[in-house]
Amino acid sequence: MERIPQKIKSLHDSCPASVPTEAGLKNRKYVSNHIQGWWVTIHAFLERCDMRRYLVKKLLTLLILLFLVSIIVHSVLFILPGDPAHIMLGIDATPETLATLRAELGLDKSPWAQYTEWMGNLLTGRGSQSIHYQVPTHDLILPRLAVTGPLALLAMVLAVAISIPLGTYASCHQNRPGDVGVMFFTQLGLATPAFWLGILLILVFAVHWGVLPAGGFPGWSVDFWGSVKALLLPSFALGIIQASILTRVTRSSMLDVLREDYVRTARAKGLKERIVIYVHALRNALIPVLTILGLQLGQLIAGSIIIENVFFLPGLGRLVFLAVGMRDLPVVRDIVLFMAAAVVIINFIVDLAYGFLDPRIRLE
């Protein structure tokens, strides 16, 4: 009775207790238990409604965000500069070629018509035409995902595989030499550009030892293991830098959790230290790590643009870099939209996961 919330207590008080006898008192207790049981069910239902409302709200925000992202990308490239055809062709363009390109890009239409045509083509799967390659942009983007995707994934897996054990280790040996060493290296990792680490790795593994390729990509169907080898160094370069951030987050999150009462209880219960750390503490400590992981994935997509150019990997980053050089604006537009959308969607998923893991978030 003591710990029943106020709401139930008032419900309970308003229940007509038929006879104020001893049996009635017993009955009253039964009623309160009964109501409490109902209350739990109702509460679970409400919570599910919360979840659904939270989901709908988040999903709407996501759609609006994606819409705005596409508007920004389109207007920065095609509407603000005045005449994109001029940008693409440079100063020595003849009026005739300019007119042809304008017609080809649909620049003679109103800005809104241009945007809706682009979106319409995108949503119906027709896509827009690359000026340089003369193929639909999705025919350029999708095959290159087979390089960028595995690269980012491998880097992420590596980062997680390094950082979680290392961060946990550091938190358990706080301020001892092991921890200080780990913190020193992560500080160094935070200050090192991933692409320079890539260059250093080339110097060591490709130039000095000659065990891994310095760049290039044979293609998955041509040479599977060669392709894996080609992705090793760049994903190491990206992954190690990501790992230094994640290690620090894991460590500080673990330090917070290890101070919690329930960890002390678990220890007092006589559980093995390993179980306390890996089962009780780490699981809770991973929630903030997950958020950072999501944010990092967005950064990873951006980072891959540079690293792909260091290793001459035919991925999205290399494509967008070349497209900027050739002023192939439709390709630039579609890739930037794709990457920005990826960042936004990943953050959305992380937000959701966070809401699932921590119910306090979705009640806000």
Using the minimum distance from each CB to other proteins, give the nearer residue, 158 or 329. 329
Q: How far is CA 352 from CA 343, 346, 349, 359, in A?
A: 14, 10, 5, 11
Distance of closest approach, residue 187 Cβ to other proteins, in angstroms: 7
CB of 25 to other proteins, least distance (A): 47
Q: What single string gives the DSSP state of each residue in 232-255?
A: HHHHHHHHHHHHHHHHHHHHHHHH
The binding site for other proteins (CB under 8 A) comprises 61, 64-65, 68-69, 72-73, 76-77, 80-81, 84, 87, 174-175, 187-188, 190-193, 195-196, 199-200, 202-203, 207, 214, 252, 255-256, 259, 298-299, 301-303, 305-306, 309-310, 320-321, 323-325, 327, 329, 332, 336, 339-341, 343-344, 347
Of 241, 262, 128, 133, residue with least CA distance to 193 = 241
Q: Quick one: 154 or 331, whose CB is closer to other proteins?
A: 331
Helix locations, the chain, DSSP H: 6-14, 22-74, 84-89, 95-105, 111-123, 137-172, 177-191, 194-201, 224-258, 261-268, 273-275, 282-310, 316-326, 329-357, 359-362
Which position has the token pair 């921590």?
358
Shortest separation between residue 196's beta carbon and other proteins, angstroms: 4
At its nearest, how many Å lie between other proteins and the CB of residue 130? 14
148 strand-pairing partners: none
Nearer residue to other proteins within complex by CB, 27 or 299 = 299
In whole angstroms, the minimum distance from the beta carbon of 216 to other proteins comes to: 13
Q: Which is nearer to other proteins, 65 or 99 (CB)?
A: 65
CA distance 317 to 27: 72
- Say if residues 187 and 215 touch (Cβ distance below 8 Å): no
* Residue 54 or 195 having the CB closest to other proteins: 195
Measured from the CB atom, the residue of 251 and 280 that comes closer to other proteins is 251
Q: How far is the CB of 272 from other proteins (least distance, A)?
A: 24
- CA Rg, the chain, in Å? 29
